Amino acid sequence: MSYTLRHSLAAVLAVCSAALAAAQGVQITLPPGVTGSKEPPPTVAGAAVPGSIDKLGWMAGCWQGTSDVDGSNVRELWLAPAAGTMMGVSQTLLREKSVGWEAMRLYDEGNTVKAWLRPGARREFTMAMEKFEDGFVSFAVTEGDTTTRLIYHRRNGNEIGASFRLIRGEDRRGVDFSFKRIECSTLMGGAK
């Protein structure tokens, strides 16, 4: 396995769960009904498209989701857009243990949006927004022959989906999460 694929895979797996991290180098199959694997394999990430962080306010709030692969639980918090930036954090739990974390930043750059991710102890990386529609955003970066893609899509006011993919030719690895909006006090604790 190439260094680029191994490095990109490690970054995404740290975000998803320790179970996935333990499975580095093992192909993760897409769940039944996911059609993403029928796309032609990209050779580079898509060109950056116009958009503004203000249009991603639907992501703001506190979310909890479950991995379609290993049942790990992800808690994610996104602050509302302010001054051209959205800040986020996440924590992955598996069997009552914290197995991963991530710091995230979405920010306006020129007439597009970039995504900066710092998954756990791995190095940070930046992705370009390659697709932008009402309630849908896709970020990607290509390193060597591997494209890493992150997609968020709004299902309704209280549910969003998130998908992580590593794409190398016909090889597609990744995980999907279904997030439900939760009360932020659930994540924050504090006096009742």
Q: Domain segments of the chain: what residues?
A: 3-24+45-187
90-149 pLDDT, tens digit each? 999 999 899 999 999 999 999 999 999 999 877 899 999 999 999 999 999 998 889 999
pLDDT band at 45 (very low <50, low <70, confident <90, very high): low
Spell out the residues 6+ positions from residue 171 whose beta carbon is closer than 8 angstroms to its own: 27
Within 10 angstroms of residue 118's Cβ, the number of other Cβ atoms is 18
Global pTM reads 0.73
Residue 77's pLDDT is what? 97
139-172 pLDDT, tens digit each? 999 988 899 999 999 999 899 999 999 999 888 8
Alpha-carbon distance of 5 to 9, in angstroms, equals 6
Alpha-carbon distance of 20 to 172, in angstroms, equals 14
Looking at CATH, the fold of the domain delimited by 3-24+45-187 is given as Lipocalin (2.40.128)
Closest Cα partner for 119 from 3, 43, 10?
10
Classified as helix, coil or strand, 173 is strand
Mean residue pLDDT of the chain comes to 78
Can you tell me which residue has the tokens 């986020």? 88
